[in-house]
Amino acid sequence: MNRTLLFIDKVSSAVGKLFAWCILLLTLVVSYEVFVRYVLGQPTTWAYDVSYILYGTLFMMAGAYALSRNAHVRGDVVYRFFPVRVQASLDLVLYILFFFPGVIALVYSGYGFARLSWMINEHSSFSPNGPPLYHFKSIIPIAGFFLCLQGAAETARCVIALRTGVWPQRQHDVEELEKELIARNAAEGVAR
């Protein structure tokens, strides 16, 4: 089971790292626009559209990657003090009640948006020669699919943690600085 979870983590990681290149493209587009607008006095008609399309793509496709790394923001002021089984049961309930219904709605609605966009050959209305939007809208159900896949892995992790009392290992877990400082202070206290 752990091999399957790590494989799903690797898929989410690969997708996230692939789409992370959008940030480089976004930086180049914005830099080019700033240069031609303020230095040459000839703004482009396409940079705005390309920038929000790249940013939106990056944002949507990074969701499963962040979930695989347990990097989504959560209010864990109290959560982190709970025992592992309580954390796992809370996570499991929240995945079932909120995550999966939301992501399934994202896939269903996103597919409808993408399908309609392809049917009408939708282009952006923000600029005179607006780029096509159907490719961008197709990213919505694809991102939802990867979120569902990673969500299934996270749900399995919750079940394993409920059974064993220990969270299954993630691919390249990163510890919070707080944990490192606590461990260092405890080691210094013992050494004194």
- Rounded to whole angstroms, the Cα distance separating 17 from 5 reads 18
Provide the residue ranges of all domains of the chain, joining segments of one domain with +.
Answer: 2-169
**Is the CB of residue 23 less than 8 Å from the CB of residue 58?**
yes
**Is the CB of residue 124 less than 8 Å from the CB of residue 130?**
yes
- Rounded to whole angstroms, the Cα distance separating 107 from 181 reads 41
Classify residue 162 as left (phi > 0), alpha (psi -120 to 50) or beta: alpha
Each residue's pLDDT, cut to its tens digit, for the chain (192 residues) gives: 788 888 999 999 999 999 999 999 999 999 999 999 999 999 988 888 999 999 999 999 999 999 998 887 777 778 888 999 999 999 999 999 999 999 999 999 999 999 999 999 998 888 777 888 999 999 999 999 999 999 999 999 999 999 999 988 887 655 566 667 777 777 776 666
Find the distance separating the first CA and the last CA of the chain, reported in whole Å: 44
Q: In the prediction, which pLDDT does 130 show? A: 82
Q: In the prediction, which pLDDT does 181 show? A: 72
Which amino acid does the sequence have at 1?
M
Q: In the prediction, which pLDDT does 71 show? A: 80
Q: In the prediction, which pLDDT does 190 show? A: 64
